[in-house]
Amino acid sequence: MVEVAVLVDITRCIGCRACQMSCKQWWRLEPSETSFSPTITNPPKRDEHTYLNVEYHEVIGDDGRLSWNFVHKRCFHCVDPVCVSVCPVAAMRKTPDGPVVWDEARCMGCRYCAQACPFRIPNYQFHSLWPEVSKCWFCWDRIAEGLQPACSKACPPKAIEFGEREAVLAEAHRRIEEFPEKYVDYVYGEKEAGGTSLFYISGVPFEQLGFNMAVPHEPLPELTWEFLSKIPFEAAAIIGSMTAIWYIRGRALQDLPEKDEAGHE
């Protein structure tokens, strides 16, 4: 199966947030009271009500001119995702075509996925008795039906483009090579964490747009298990307790109403 990806061209984004709204509509996410950040990002953070958001960044260039940049932010769907490798019960998994998805019935709530992610993407419902992990699911159900994700479908200026991973990456490099005066010579997401399924090109240095430039370029699962192997045996007791919680949670979920393909009752 061919792996898919998304290219976000920040120079094309007009900040309309159609991607944000289409995501909420497709996944039937409940409305919530929001607020503005100092640069008018709304909502300022992603949570269970907002799987992706558009950040607004004011940047002063070397020539002293102010630019307003809009950045679509969400899960990167790493090629070799560390959130999958650290999950003790295989609740997180990567599908053959690219999306990293979550199985609620398997999850025991350890939150390793949220802690391990180098991009700090997965959110966890600390206020719920039966908390869920929330993040962009790459519209895996739409992709399985041969459709593109809701966000790229809704983007008016084609700032978000969907396609086969290799073709999308080649398009990113083509634009940089053809318009070097317009773009920074770097594709964010190509090398980070060993490669992802979300690529960005920009006219402004990425570090000025809130991107983490310290993410290692090698796949992280190998580093994770090297770390975990040094954890003392006392941790086994903790893992045993979490496994018991996972069993109890799984039994309880069997009594809850079934959910549809979008994950809602």
What does the pLDDT average to over 109-137? Answer: 86
Q: Residue 196 and residue 190: Cα distance in Å, rounded? A: 6
Q: Coil, strand or helix: which one is 223?
A: helix
Q: Residue 109 and residue 132: Cα distance in Å, rounded? A: 8
Give 165-183 pLDDT, tens digit per residue. Answer: 999 999 999 999 999 999 9
pLDDT at position 155 is: 97
What does the pLDDT average to over 224-241? Answer: 55
Residue-wise over 236-255: b if at least 16 C-beta within 10 A, else e? Answer: eeeeeebeeebeebeeeeee
Choose among 118, 120, 111: nearest CA to 91. Answer: 111
What does the pLDDT average to over 219-236? Answer: 61
User: Where does the pLDDT of residue 91 fall: very low under 50, low under 70, confident under 90, or very high at 90 and above?
Assistant: very high
pLDDT at 144 over 50: yes
Q: Residue 7 and residue 75: Cα distance in Å, rounded? A: 13
pLDDT at position 117 is: 94
Q: Please provide the average confidence, as pLDDT, over all residues in the chain.
A: 87
The CA–CA distances, whole Å, from 72 to 18, 88, 115 equal 10, 31, 22
Share of the chain above pLDDT 90, in %: 65
pLDDT at position 261 is: 47
pLDDT at position 173 is: 98
Neighbours of 93 (CB within 10 A): 15
What does the pLDDT average to over 134-150? Answer: 96
Give 181-196 pLDDT, tens digit per residue. Answer: 999 999 999 999 999 9
The DSSP 8-state label assigned to residue 207 in this structure reads G
pLDDT at position 126 is: 72
Higher pLDDT, 184 or 262: 184
Cα radius of gyration rounded to whole Å, the chain = 19
Choose among 94, 45, 95, 101: nearest CA to 74. Answer: 45
Residue 194 CA, distance from chain mean position: 15
pLDDT at position 49 is: 92
pLDDT at position 198 is: 98
DSSP H or E segment with residue 238: helix 234-253
pLDDT at position 108 is: 85
Residue-wise over 155-187: b if at least 16 C-beta within 10 A, else e? Answer: beeebbbbbebeebbebbeebbeeeeeebbebb
Amino acid letter, residue 256: L
